Chains A and B, each alone.
Chain A
Amino acid sequence: MASSVVTLIVGGEVFQTTAATLSRAGASSPLASLAPTPASAPHFLDRDPRLFATLLSFLRRGRLAPTSPDSDPPSPALLAEARHFGVEGALLASLSPASAFSPLALRPSALLPLAGRVPPSAVAVPPSPHPASVFAAHGGVVTRFDAALASRGSVLTPLPAVDSLVAVSPTLALAGARDFAGVHLCRYPDDAPATAREVLSWPGSPSATVLSMAATSATEVSSPWLFTSFESARRNSSAVVTFDMNSLSPVAEIGRKEVYGADVEAAIPASRLSWLGRHNLLLAAGSHSGPAGVVGDICLWDVRASATVPVWELREKEDCFADIAASEALSSLFKVGAASGEVFMADLRMLGGGGISIEPWVCIGDGQRAAAAASAGRKEGNGCRIECYLNWVFVARGGEVEVWTQVELAQEAGGKKLMRRNWVGNGPSFVIAGGSGHESVKEKTKIVSWAFGGSRMALARDDKRSIEVWDSAPAAISFNP
């Protein structure tokens, strides 16, 4: 044991550790090459000893020890020091790990201000193995905040306003707009200014606008794919195009639809894409609001089997979805009914071959209310959003977020799996204003866009020029002054 001890003198202070601890910094780090030495012949590093002590503690424990009870984000000086020692990536990833995500422990943790006057229209967080940096589009500008929420960088895209934003990695985000052609790649290299020079477009119709995008997560395939739902400028044809993100070339065109004559409903373009990697399925759903109500079209595509015939298709007429999402962990589809505002669930394993005839949706909210609202033609679900992250389903209603948890009963008690609803945070309730003592309703404005990643939830609210970040890191006790 004594032979593996490494003695270091950093800026005049003695540190002793083991070679195993230093090797956790990664092979590219200068720390990994330090060989065990006797205490009489230490290595000498001309760096700040206080920052080095924090980094060494991080290597030992695997996460940063908060120095104060209200764990501050690491300072830019510490991040610069971490970059010097090659542990910045590991440090950023440890700040907000997906394993620490717990929706019922989410608390508002930071407010990220955006420059300029335009409120944010879209937010995105890169998928799990990457550190949870936050991207926000405001006007035509896409701003990236790093995972420590300590620094930011912006890039100007040619788009007048960004409607859909997808984060592929902490250095790459894709922006698209409903009224402007092409997918624009925003790159944020570590050592150069951010750029947005590359454009991806539908080869069949180069002026087509972007309705929705979805990317495969980086772990499962060597070259990530991007699915983009394009609609031609004349709005008479649409298709989902798959791009290879390494070569930036189109790979396949899925489900091309052409509108002939007045029958718009026969070819509703997909406005919501979602990739189910474990099932190798692409969910493409679109809805059309007409004088007769909202009609929707939900398709599941197996990309390898066929690009023209979906695996499963459902035409929605009654209580069509306001928003739809697919959960891999629960292997189900979830929707919010546009009429009822209730949440419905469809098990992916129970979708029949002739899916149109069988009603796949099971209401997991108040079924009676849903039926009544649907028949009365109300629009309770207008503007609701639904999103799945890990084992949970989130629904945004106005300014509030609700979460659905799956609770599994013990085998002896029936072993049933139940979906249960809760508000994230306080929920819509009276809040006693601190100090003044009188009751006031805290008005939260509508959620325009949201994203989940790491242990975080990022929210963009209507008319707020900042991004709200909620974190489920262990919170301290609130002490009274």
Chain B
Amino acid sequence: MEAAGAGGRRGTVKQLNVGGKLFALEASSLPISLSLSPSPNPIFVDRDPALLSAILSAIRAPSAAPAFPAGVLLDEAHSYGLHDQLLAALSPPPLLGFSASRASTLSPPSEPFPTALAPRHDGSLCLAHGAGLLTHYSPALEHLTTFRTHLHRITSLRQLPPGLAVAGSSLSPGLHVYDLLKGRHVASVQWSDPTDLRVQKAKVIAIAARPAADAADKNSPILATFECPHRENCILVFDPVTLKPIQEIGRQTGSAAKSSAPGRVVHLQELGLVFAASVSSGAFGYSGYMRLWDIRSGDVVWETSEPGGVGRSSRFGDPFADVDVDVKQQILYKVCSKSGDIGAADLRCLGKDPWVYMSSGPRGSGGGHGSVLHCYKSQVFVSRKDGLEVWSRLEEQSNGTANLAEQTRAKENINSEGINENCFRSCYVDTEEDADRGMIHIMEGGGDRLFVTREEMQGVEVWETSQLAGAISLSLSSLLV
């Protein structure tokens, strides 16, 4: 008989007889039905001992590949109260852009061309692909369900906590809520205005549902930008429970680039602000605006538009191609369309020209045309024509004589806004072969993974930081092949 324990922590240990084999597990982690049994003898559990021993070895040595599929083990771990421990052991280590590599490619079974991604902080992924299909992956990235929605193409998607997905389409009106487990339509929300009859059949351009890494606040509202067929648009704020509109902010006519529907919305809950940005590109280059709305009053707090804003004259003619907010650091990041430079602006002191441009870093040939920018885990991921770049912040270094010179140089460079460009370093995340697969279309972070889709490519790439060396053995047999 074999005895095994779940980790080295001290506590009351319960002996279990699982299908004829003896195990010792910590009593505190066991479900009530097992831990309350008073008998000193091993409690008999009629389950498969091979699965439990695979669960325990996966928890002890997270790096080794488990003998059974992760989903089978996770199912089984529920009955021993080891689910959370096992999930943590199976999840990748914290995402570090500078040492991430492509771990796998998720390919949904039918029509595997992604149109929108919605990861959650626990690492689960909801994927919209093909003609209105939704696929749900578990936190261990196991395929759970694929079902068809009534929409023909889902272009914006977010997950809501109890297994729901909010989907919108730029082809058909309304915001639609689907139950991910049952694959059923739950509710629809439309933008309507009883005083203005022209407001109807509004399509959803972008959705923001709670910051991705935040699970604390249960009642943060959903924000969605709606656009009518005659281009009038607004940001609607919904209650996540009743799914009824609470508030309408930022209503605009949509007649000019400065008032077109924002394609990116971020809810800055701590500041009570809503960040909205719109980018449009054409034969004459990019143009767009970014705005901060006060969610209570519905007023514009700060705005800038490019080109034609009040920016530095040296940057005139280099409007931004994409912009995102790092909610934790409270910094705006943008990528310039011509030069491909990254600009950062501190949300706490936005002035007339708050941008600090980062000069170092790899400079590809493509500039910033078609770039996608995504802030995740205090890192900034920027896609370019020739690859995926990550900007990470150096940790504060303690005083040492060795880099005194650097420190003084850094001091000189500190702007009044408080962003020090010397603190940022950029690296390429991917290799040249990765970049050859195509331009990055969507990038979203979830859990400790970065999900990437490429234009006209099947499937979703999953990028993770790995602790495994992945050594390739150079034995004679492999050399011959």
Contact = CB atoms under 8 A, between A and B. Distances in A.
A454 to B, nearest CB: 17
20 contacts: A2-B44, A17-B19, A20-B46, A56-B48, A60-B19, A61-B48, A65-B51, A66-B72, A106-B109, A407-B149, A413-B187, A413-B188, A420-B150, A421-B131, A422-B131, A425-B110, A432-B457, A475-B109, A477-B104, A477-B106
Interface in A1-30: 1-2, 5, 7-8, 14-18, 20-21
A427 B111 contact: yes
B161 interface: no
A155 interface: no
Contacts of A103: 110
A368 interface: no
A16 B110 contact: no
A37 interface: no
B426 to A, nearest CB: 26
Interface string A288-311: 000000000000000000000000
A474 interface: yes
Given A16-B44, A60-B47, A102 B145 contact: yes
- What 9 A-B pairs have minimum CB-CB distances, sorted nearest first? A16-B20, A413-B188, A104-B146, A405-B148, A407-B150, A57-B48, A14-B20, A18-B46, A15-B20
Given A71-B69, A477-B141, A105 B146 contact: yes
Contact of A16 (B17, B105, B107, B141): B17
B68 A65 contact: yes
B110 A67 contact: no
A53 B44 contact: no
A420 B148 contact: yes
Which of A14, A61, A105 is packed against the most chain B CB atoms within 10 Å?
Answer: A105
B142 interface: yes
A66 B48 CA distance: 13
B81 interface: no
A248 interface: no
Given A410-B187, A413-B188, 12 more contacts: A15-B20, A16-B19, A17-B19, A65-B68, A71-B69, A104-B146, A105-B109, A412-B187, A425-B110, A477-B104, A477-B142, A480-B102
B149 A102 contact: no
A418 interface: yes
Nearest to A15: B20
Nearest to B144: A474
> Interface size class for chain B?
35 or more
A410 B110 contact: no
A312 interface: no
A478 B107 contact: yes
Interface in B162-193: 176, 184-188
B111 A474 contact: no
B139 interface: no
B150 A67 contact: no
Nearest to A409: B185
Interface string A431-451: 010000100000000000000
A124 to B, nearest CB: 24
B402 interface: no
A376 interface: no
Given A16-B44, A104-B148, A422-B130, A65 B72 contact: yes
Contacts of A20: 46
Given A65-B72, A407-B148, A1 B141 contact: no
A107 interface: yes
Interface in B1-57: 1, 17, 19-21, 44, 46-48, 50-51
Nearest to A424: B110
B192 to A, nearest CB: 13
B44 A5 contact: yes
A1 B46 CA distance: 10
Interface of A: 1-2, 5, 7-8, 14-18, 20-21, 53, 56-57, 60-61, 65-67, 69, 71, 102-107, 403, 405, 407-410, 412-413, 418, 420-427, 429, 432, 437, 472, 474-480
A426 B104 contact: no
B143 interface: yes
Contacts of B132: 420, 422
Given A16-B44, A105-B146, A426-B110, A410 B185 contact: yes
B71 interface: yes
B1 A14 contact: yes
Nearest to A475: B143
Contacts of A474: 71, 142-143
Contacts of B185: 407-410, 413
B67 interface: yes
B147 interface: yes
Contacts of A425: 109-110
Contacts of B109: 104-107, 425, 472, 475
A65 B52 CA distance: 13
B104 A479 contact: yes
A412 B188 contact: yes
B133 interface: yes
A142 to B, nearest CB: 30
Contacts of A66: 68-69, 72
A414 to B, nearest CB: 8
Interface of B: 1, 17, 19-21, 44, 46-48, 50-51, 67-69, 71-72, 102-107, 109-113, 130-133, 141-143, 145-150, 176, 184-188, 436, 457-459
A332 to B, nearest CB: 17
Contacts of A104: 109-110, 133, 146-148
A14 B44 CA distance: 14
A16 B187 CA distance: 50
A7 B20 CA distance: 8
A413 B188 CA distance: 6
Given A410-B187, A422-B130, A478 B48 contact: no
A478 B105 contact: yes
A106 B108 CA distance: 10
A239 to B, nearest CB: 41
B91 to A, nearest CB: 14
A366 to B, nearest CB: 12
Contacts of B20: 7-8, 14-17
Contacts of A14: 1, 20-21
Contacts of A426: 110-112, 458
Contacts of B48: 53, 56-57, 60-61, 65
Given A408-B185, A478-B105, A105 B143 contact: yes
Nearest to A476: B69
A426 B110 CA distance: 5
Contacts of A478: 104-107, 459
Contacts of B111: 422-423, 426-427
A478 B458 CA distance: 12
Contacts of B17: 16
Contacts of B68: 65-67
Which of B46, B102, B105 is packed against the most chain A CB atoms within 10 Å?
Answer: B46
A53 B130 contact: no
Contacts of A422: 110-111, 130-133, 148
B110 A427 contact: yes
Which of A57, A65, A408 is packed against the most chain B CB atoms within 10 Å?
Answer: A65
Nearest to B179: A410
B39 to A, nearest CB: 9
Contacts of A477: 104-106, 141-143
Contact of B46 (A60, A421, A472): A60
A313 B105 CA distance: 52
A459 to B, nearest CB: 15
Contacts of A479: 103-104
Nearest to A20: B46
Nearest to A2: B44
Given A60-B47, A410-B185, A15 B19 contact: yes
A245 B113 CA distance: 48
Contacts of B186: 410
B425 to A, nearest CB: 28
A17 B143 CA distance: 32
